[in-house]
């Protein structure tokens, strides 16, 4: 049986841990509500922007000569792994690592070289330790998510693609599904994919000034790419906070259960100690009585 003093210390330690996990759960919940409001506000804008772009492309009758739409032979791929800078968020970062590893293996089988750009410290460190080619870790974009930061990251990826360093850029990230569930996504960022031909023509409904090609270029280079990155970072951050909230909730419940078990063990040990003391007193009294 454990010493009573040791059990009391352990109960106090677990209670202290439970207070920390409970506080972290509440902080994650507050951050999740805040970032979800930003995502909800951004979603109608992104949907409308993509709809307008599709209408313009349809009006051009798919006559697009922009280099961002050019499908080059894929010889080298950049995988952008969006994770977190901090841990204690369950399988959030591990899922990103697993997806990246699966993609790298898939491309290697096809004889395609891959490199990884980490956005967030955790996945980058794990992938580096496992021997993957991580060219850089851009932790600042996760630390403070803003439209300006998203523009910097999008411009960096845009430059890498247009310079010919990479023939394809993919983004791997978590997506917020619900407070208790996240979904891992792999999305092609560049080159841009043409929308499927629906058979509808919007050409008759629009008069373009300047030309449709100029408007398309302006929207893609100065709006859509930045917005896509901004949305991806916000969605990943939402999933991170949801994962952390769930992980801390489970940790708090586990701490409560451990405290219950330790308290039961303490009471049993205390009862055994009292019983032992009573027996010693009784035996001592009997021994004195027998001497008399």
136 catalytic? Reply is no
DSSP 51-113: HHHHHHHHHTTT----GGG-----SEEEEEEE--SS--STTHHHHHHHHHHHHHHHHHHTT-E
Tallying the residues shown for the chain, one arrives at: 292
Whether 12 contacts 232, CB under 8 Å = no
From 102, 109, 107, select the one nearest 127 (Cα to Cα).
Answer: 102
- For 120-174, give the secondary structure using H, E and C: CHHHHHHHHHCCCCEEEECCHHHHCCCHHHHHHHHHHHHHHHHCCCCCEEEEEEE
* DSSP structure class, residue 223: I
d(CA 223, CA 56): 14
d(CA 247, CA 21): 9
- Which residue in the list 7, 59, 80, 89 is annotated as catalytic? 89
Strands 76-82 and 168-178, by their bridges, are: parallel
Residues tagged active-site: 89
């Amino acid at each position: 049986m454990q010493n009573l003093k040791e059990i009391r210390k352990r109960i106090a330690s677990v209670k202290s841990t439970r207070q920390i996990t409970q506080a972290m759960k509440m902080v994650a919940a507050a951050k999740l509500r805040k970032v979800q409001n930003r995502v909800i506000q951004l979603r109608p804008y992104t949907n409308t922007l993509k709809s307008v772009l599709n209408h313009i492309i349809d009006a051009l009758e798919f006559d697009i000569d922009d280099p961002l739409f050019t499908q080059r032979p894929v010889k080298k791929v950049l995988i952008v792994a969006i994770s977190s800078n901090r841990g204690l968020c369950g399988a959030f970062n591990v899922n990103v690592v697993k997806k990246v590893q699966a993609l790298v293996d898939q491309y290697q089988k096809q004889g395609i070289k891959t490199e990884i750009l980490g956005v967030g410290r955790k996945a980058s460190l794990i992938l580096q330790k496992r021997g993957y080619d991580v060219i850089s870790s851009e932790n600042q974009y996760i630390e403070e998510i803003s439209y300006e930061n998203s523009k910097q990251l999008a411009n960096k990826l845009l430059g890498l693609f247009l310079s010919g360093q990479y023939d394809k850029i993919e983004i791997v990230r978590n997506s917020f599904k619900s407070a208790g569930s996240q979904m891992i996504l792999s999305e092609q960022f560049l080159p841009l994919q043409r929308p499927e031909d629906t058979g509808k023509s919007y050409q008759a409904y629009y008069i373009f000034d300047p030309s449709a090609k100029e408007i398309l270029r302006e929207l893609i280079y100065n709006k859509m790419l930045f917005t896509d990155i901004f949305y991806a970072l916000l969605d990943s951050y939402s999933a991170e906070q949801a994962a952390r909230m769930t992980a801390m909730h489970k940790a708090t419940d586990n701490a409560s259960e451990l405290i219950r078990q330790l308290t039961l063990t303490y009471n049993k040990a205390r009862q055994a100690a009292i019983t032992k003391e009573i027996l010693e007193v009784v035996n001592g009294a009997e021994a004195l009585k027998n001497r008399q």
